Amino acid sequence: MDRLLVVAAAAAGLLILVIAARAVAGRRTRRAQALSPSEVWNVLGANPDGSSAVVLFTTPSCAECGTQRALLRGVRVIEVDASKRPDVAARFGVLTAPTTAILLPDGRVRAVNHGFAGADRLASQLA
Amino acid sequence: MAVQAYDVTARKAHQWTMVLLVVLGFLLGEPWGAVPLMVAGVIMLAGRFWWRADVVRQLTWRVLEPRGILKRVERVEDHDTRRVARLIGGAAWLAAAGLLLLGAPLAAWVIAFLIAIMVVLDAAFDFCALCFIVARFDRRGWTGS
């Protein structure tokens, strides 16, 4: 009985952790979405070209980043090494790698995916 | 790099079964709890190098999906990191089983549950805890990359 309670407590703790993590990720996403287009292009050191773009945040040891990069073929990708550009990563609220930020043609941040984003999700965000 | 689609249903079935084995081990207590822990560790490690030893995936592919009990879902996702995680997880669960048999249950269950939590996060939310940890280390320059 005691052990069942421990398992239940562990499950409840995990649930609270997940809810908290989602809240943190959501807050960081909203902060990135609050960036003005000029701030976005300025921070990235890039210029708009009239098309949607994806900012791909990587780190040197990120194994998933190669797969994420391969999924982004055919889209304008602005790659940022978060370990070399922590300032940029902080502005976009990057928590992990890969992180993808979807930019609308005017530079507004449409969405931020914390962690690997599948093809279906990317396609719907870029549509 | 070529993108490859994987059977997500089989992955999740495998992960949830491993977690259930850990929970079963915990509920059984000491010393018999070491048995399900060892089974989970062996499936994780052996299945990493020899897919036929991954009995849960075999069951999913040969029985559960063909009979319509589980629906096959294919998705492009990264498995390189998961293979590393699988090695770490399998070794950790075997080590935990050893600790249990050596009379160190607290250390054993802490290790076993830490790994189980990481597996639950991937199975339930597709959240790669190992990627998160490595990314934090990378950003602090602790990985030497």
B18-69 per-position pLDDT tens digit: 999 999 999 999 899 999 999 999 999 998 888 888 999 999 999 999 999 9
Pairing status of strand A53-58 against strand A99-103: antiparallel
- pTM exceeds 0.90 for this model: no
Averaged pLDDT for residues A55-70: 89
Q: Is A45 on the interface with B (CB under 8 A)?
A: no
Q: Residue B101: pLDDT band by 50, 70, 90 thresholds?
A: very high
Q: Which residues of A touch B137 (CB under 8 A)?
A: 61
* Residues B60-90 as b or e (16 or more Cβ within 10 Å = b): bbeebbeeeebeeeeebbbeebbeebbeebb
Q: Is A70 on the interface with B (CB under 8 A)?
A: yes
Percent of chain B clearing pLDDT 70 (strictly above): 97
Averaged pLDDT for residues A55-69: 89
For an interface test with B, the pick among A1, A3, A79 (most B C-beta atoms closer than 10 Å) comes out as A3
Percent of chain B clearing pLDDT 90 (strictly above): 65
Q: Which amino acid is at B3?
A: V
Report the 10 Å Cβ neighbour count for A16: 10
ipTM of the prediction: 0.72
- The beta-carbon neighbor of A118 closest among B29, B75, B125 is B75
For A1-5, A99-103, A110-114, B96-100, which range has the lowest pLDDT when averaged over its residues? A1-5
Q: Are A103 and A109 in contact (CB under 8 A)?
A: yes
